[in-house]
Structure 1
């Protein structure tokens, strides 16, 4: 399936829906489990909380739409890097939703999906919906060509419209998944989540990224989240907590901004035929880079040598021990 430009050929989607879910949970299930367990304030498994992951996906998708620009009267400039960061956040919630469905299905001893299910067969709901988007975007582009004569303007408008259409479909799928979750219909919920996984891959392509980029950025975001927890994030009043603003000035920058620079500085490493770094290695790399930078932040802003000395690298940090304990069972 190709909408208009070979650069955004949807045949470049790397994984089928089921394979993508398997790849993602095999690579990141333990780390995501650790993050969710750390954020869990209740004395039981986070999967028992009935968190509305679909609602979280929906709201992140809407935030992504703000970065792309949807106001036809606003003439906004798309920010594809920021939009892609929202895809990474969506991926975080999506993996959590998949893990929760699998937990519930195991607990209830029911299959969450038939092994023979083919989510992208011709005539399936998702296949037909993607075809409808292809048709709608092409028609939109034809209509706009009457008014926009410059090719670059056409391409920008087309790309924005395509991304927004896929986001709209994701919001719809997330809403359906949420309803099925509320009804405890595991298979119907899981099918919608698989559809969302496919759309995640499409959004990567339209943001100029690959699934490998998604995995790397996700590893980076996880490194930051775990690093925050290890260094006093959300400490109680009166305690010296984590410093989130890493540089001041006219445009203060948060740790998130530094992470983005780190990822972009290493964007060509471990990709394509020269791929040498697993996602676990990237997690460690980004964690260690954040630790080194945070020591500088503490030296500058906190001026506390003892506190700076307590910033650990990945091999000695609490999160590594926590993740390993969860994996060990």
Structure 2
């Protein structure tokens, strides 16, 4: 198994675990993951900048975070409760290795969004095109994904679904704390996710 497939399998397993935490039979619920993708695409475009009537500088870090969020939804669309993670990972690896890129990032993002709207699908090739044009590789995706997935677990464990979760700690949003925690850790460590969780726990208001 290649390193990339291993990473994709890990992410698929983590996504299923997260979704199962929210609903035990989540893949039978008809959740509109495709809608989450195109809504995130629109939000990302604001972070990248599209208004020709004002000066805008792409917020690359935020764009990357949004791409990671989209990958969560994309994986959720691919998991069906039947197909083995290995097979799903192999298919994803093939698609990610063939980026579909338009003239610029904005237009590639629109291809990704269009697939979600029109076909209710996750267009991994357009996603790979976005990654390529923003300067992101599979290792960046993996680090970002594991970190954000762990934050999602942390949120659920601390009352996110019930509405009691505190999103801003010490003047910073939890996403900002996540970035700082991840930067302080060895992302190749086998217990990376556990260390991220522990780092968040240490910062969270008791």
Is contact 1:216–1:282 with CA below 8 Å preserved after alignment?
no
Match 2:182 to one of 263, 275, 278: 263
The within-5 A match list for 1:1-329 is: 25-40=8-23, 45-100=25-80, 103=81, 130=101, 133=102, 137=103, 162-178=104-120, 193=122, 196-235=123-162, 241-247=164-170, 252-266=171-185, 269-270=186-187, 276-278=188-190, 281-294=191-204, 297-298=205-206
| SS in structure 1 at match of 2:51 | coil
Q: CA deviation at 1:67?
A: 0.4
Deviation track 1:213-241 (CA, whole Å, cap 9, x = no partner) reads 111111111111111222233337xxxx3
Is contact 2:33–2:77 with CA below 8 Å preserved after alignment?
yes
CA distance in 2, matches of 1:75, 1:96: 36
Is contact 1:24–1:95 with CA below 8 Å preserved after alignment?
no
Q: CA deviation at 1:263?
A: 2.6
Is contact 1:54–1:175 with CA below 8 Å preserved after alignment?
yes
Deviation track 1:44-86 (CA, whole Å, cap 9, x = no partner) reads 6111111121111111111111100011112111100001100
Is contact 2:50–2:106 with CA below 8 Å preserved after alignment?
yes
Is contact 2:108–2:130 with CA below 8 Å preserved after alignment?
yes
CA distance in 1, matches of 2:130, 2:189: 24
Match of 1:141 in 2: none
Stretch deviating more after TM superposition (216-225 or 169-178): 169-178
Q: Which has the larger radius of gyration?
A: 1
Give TM-score scaled by structure 1 length: 0.53
Give TM-score scaled by structure 2 length: 0.82
Aligned pairs, how many?
Answer: 199
Is contact 1:25–1:99 with CA below 8 Å preserved after alignment?
no
Q: Where do 5+ consecutive residues of structure 2 fail to align?
A: none
| SS in structure 2 at match of 1:77 | coil
Deviation track 1:269-319 (CA, whole Å, cap 9, x = no partner) reads 44xxxxx434xx22112111111112xx32xxxxxxxxxxxxxxxxxxxxx
